[in-house]
Amino acid sequence: MANPNKSVLVVEDERDVADLLTYNLRKAGYNAAAVYDGSQAMSSLTQDPPDLVILDLMLPGMTGIEIAQQLRASPKTDKLPILMLTARADEADQLQGLAVGADDYMTKPFSTKLLLARVAALLRRQPQPEAEKTSLRMAAIHADLEAHIVSVDGADAKLTLTEYKLLVAMMQQPRKVLSRTDLINRVMGPGIIVTARTIDVHVAALRKKLGNAGALIRTIRGVGYQIAEENALSAAQDNPDGVSFEAAEQEA
């Protein structure tokens, strides 16, 4: 059974789909509710944020993309896990969803069992402080593992949960090259199937939010990513496998 204290808000304008989702979430032990309009969802999410939101893209009142953008812009909801569930299956739509801050993306028709597994995986990914360390620091980047906050030169970087987990995973093993598979397992959990490009999009968004300090994250051709202070000057010229945030937006 899932943790009964975990709340999930379903934002879906097709009532049959919303009812199916809330029924199965409640059966799995979650405190689930549904709203059918984008504007109503935004009001509910900002007043009383749940532990996770399942978000459709095509909604009356406000689109799922607009909702995700506003959630990520607010300190109250900037780390709220977002699972996008939509009939839009094109790669460009998926890239756009990830680029605006979704932590996961599923397409309709969907497997209820797989969706519940994705929900459980997202909720398990609550950042945990190390046994001895309560913070990590590298150059201008500071990660507070107790408050789950990342700052650059003292300013909040406003990372999503996935971006935070990616950065902490790399900072906990500085100079070690982590493959995309390593990062998927560390950040999203074993058994979760996503493409390597999904990690590339999240890393690209992370670099952008870190500003100049994003150059500490270096793409290792054909392997994955590494973070190290000595790479800061060369990283910008050595990113053949990475996907730039701007490129992802254009493709989306």
Q: What percent of the chain has pLDDT over 70?
A: 84
pLDDT of the residue at 245:
36
Of residues 230 and 73, the one with the higher pLDDT is 73
φ, ψ (nearest 5 deg) of residue 104: -155, 160
DSSP state of 19: H
pLDDT band at residue 96 using 50, 70 and 90 as cut-offs: confident
The residues spanned by each domain of the chain are 7-124, 135-251
Q: What share of the chain is helix, strand, coil (3-state, %, to 5)?
A: 45, 20, 40
Choice among 3-7, 8-12, 67-71, 214-218 with the minimum mean pLDDT: 3-7
List b or e across 119-148, with b for residues whose CB sees 16 or more CB atoms inside 10 angstroms: bbbbbebebeeeeeeeebebebbbbebeeb
pLDDT band at residue 191 using 50, 70 and 90 as cut-offs: low
What is the tens place of the pLDDT at every residue in 107-148? 888 899 999 999 998 988 755 444 456 889 999 999 998 888
Global pTM reads 0.57
Beta bridge partners of 161: none
Question: Which token pair is 59?
Answer: 């909604």
Q: Do residues 13 and 56 make contact, with C-beta atoms less than 8 angstroms apart?
A: yes
Helix axes 196-210, 180-188, angle to 10 degrees: 80
Give yes or no for residue 247 having a pLDDT over 80: no
Please state, in angstroms and rounded to a whole number, the distance separating the CA atoms of residues 236 and 139: 16
What is the tens place of the pLDDT at every residue in 32-51? 999 999 988 998 898 889 99
Please state, in angstroms and rounded to a whole number, the distance separating the CA atoms of residues 15 and 81: 22
pLDDT of the residue at 212:
93
pLDDT band at residue 214 using 50, 70 and 90 as cut-offs: very high
CATH number assigned to the domain covering 7-124: 3.40.50.2300
Q: Domain 135-251 maps to which CATH number in 1.10.287.70, 3.30.565.10, 1.10.10.10, 3.30.70.3270? A: 1.10.10.10
Q: Do residues 80 and 126 make contact, with C-beta atoms less than 8 angstroms apart?
A: no
pLDDT of the residue at 215:
93
Q: Do residues 61 and 48 make contact, with C-beta atoms less than 8 angstroms apart?
A: no
Question: Which token pair is 25?
Answer: 């979430």
Give yes or no for residue 76 having a pLDDT over 90: no
